[in-house]
Structure 1
């Protein structure tokens, strides 16, 4: 079984869940996350954990490199 590679997010950002789309894009870009006009990462991987009722925030974690397992 291949070893798992642990990756730390390059940028982690918490934003209010009720923020407007344009303010969200502005905040992501200000944090250094390269996103297009739809909020998709231009490179790397952007993971979003949406609020689940208990929290009123969304957590954005951007990984600049590839996320996955190291080769055998």
Structure 2
């Protein structure tokens, strides 16, 4: 009769270990999905930022080209 509680505690400990592992697995999966979501969002925002920077650079590039052309024109006029 004394062996029965020992057996039940072993079963219980195995069950809790499995449950803890399952919970940890679920948590890990959840954390990974959250991390992936954050990574995807940050990637999108970085891409949007770079696109915005490129858009901002475009007029400046045109302006710089115009300055080069005007300076060349003024230089050729002299």
TM-score range, shorter chain: under 0.3
For the pair shown, the structure with the greater C-alpha radius of gyration is 2
The structure that is helix-richer by fraction is 2
